[in-house]
Structure 1
Amino acid sequence: MTNAAVEPALPAPPAATAEAATAEAIAFFAARLRFQTDVSDVRGALDAGDPGFVLVDSRAEAGWRQAHVPGAVHLPLADIPSRAGSLLDPAVPVVTYCWGPGCNGATRAALALSQLGYQAKEMLGGVEYWIREGFPVEGAAGTERRPADPLTAPLGSAACAC
């Protein structure tokens, strides 16, 4: 018997996806859209008036004080089990966010709220991409807005139009 390492099979290149996987792909991408949204869509819904959801910032107090989305409810991840019932209406969907794409706090918050019976979505990009797309935040210095980062949002436009 040899001690040769068994190499794992590499995934097929994108163009080699089997036709049978199409239904699986449709289910996967439809599920992502049911459970995730992005900062541009959230901003558009908030600007329209009654968005039909409550935006939840799941970061700790220091992050909330530094900068948060105007109108968001502050509900740190650790407090969800004890405080969600007093802050959120179970009949109103929630959208969670945290720091950014390198953080899974919004995913954890959406899971915790789902386990309590709330309809939850995760806002991809978090407060980082909210700021990078040029949307306003509230913090210790009041409300501020930075110019949009041209690597994340089209200049001169309120939405990515994708």
Structure 2
Amino acid sequence: MTAATDSSRHFAAKLRFETDPSDVRAAQQAGDGFVLVDSRGEAAWRQGRASGAVHLPTAQIAERAATVVPAGTPVVVYCWGPGCNGSTKAALAFSLLGYDVREMIGGFEYWAREGLPVEDDHGVITRAADPLTAPVDGVSCAC
């Protein structure tokens, strides 16, 4: 096997199992059928979450997934951010149950920093995009 073949397989698999906040938001707006799952604890959920997400802490996935996410429905999971592997643990838990699951890299941190819709128990929170993480004058990074 050549290095090019190895790297092609690696990056293809990475794109198959990972996604990012802007792609998740675009998929939400397109009406793609998936459930966005916030896998953080109750305090984090109450502090703020990606609009459209459902709350299912990682520790409860094995027990409650079937009541929150219908069988056969694709799942995208997130946790705090790139310094946290909670979304990886959540993705593993969903995959062990047979769900088609992707991990949203960057987590809630990058969702919020990109200026995407955030809500808390009081409603929608509007934040400006952080110019270090997202274009402030355009719709996307054009990648």
Amino acid of the structure 2 residue aligned with 1:63: A
What is the aligned partner in structure 2 of residue 85 from structure 1?
66
Kept after mapping to 2: 8 A contact 1:136/1:144? yes
Q: Measure, in 1, the Cα distance between the counterparts of 2:123 and 2:59.
A: 26
State whether residues 37 and 121 of structure 1, in contact with CA within 8 Å, keep that contact through their aligned partners in structure 2: yes
Number of aligned residue pairs: give it.
Answer: 143
Cα deviation 1:79-125 (Å, max 9, x = unaligned): 00110011111211100000000001111100000001101000010
Determine the C-alpha separation between the residues in 2 that align with 1:76 and 1:65. Answer: 12
Larger radius of gyration: 1
Report the Cα distance in structure 2 between the residues aligned to 1:159 and 1:109, rounded to whole angstroms: 28
The unaligned stretches of length 5 or more in structure 1 are: 1-18
TM-score (structure 1 length as normaliser) = 0.85
Of 16, 39, 47, 1:66 maps to: 47
The percent identity for this pair of structures is 59
Q: Which runs of 5+ in 2 are unaligned?
A: none
The letter for the 2-side match of 1:46 is Q
Taking structure 2 as the reference length, the TM-score comes to: 0.96
Spell out structure 1 runs of 4+ moving beyond 3 A: none
Q: What RMSD over aligned residues (CA atoms) do the two structures have, in Å?
A: 1.2
Q: Give SS of 1:95's match.
A: strand
Q: What displacement does 1:53 show? A: 1.0
Distance 2:138 2:60 in 1: 37
* Corresponding residue number in structure 2 for 1:42: 24
Q: Give the whole-Å Cα distance in 2 for the aligned partners of 1:97 and 1:118.
A: 15
1:107-146 alignment runs, 5 A limit? 107-146=88-127
Say yes or no: does 1:153 pair with 2:121: no
Letter in 1 for 2:9: A
Matched, 1:75 2:24: no
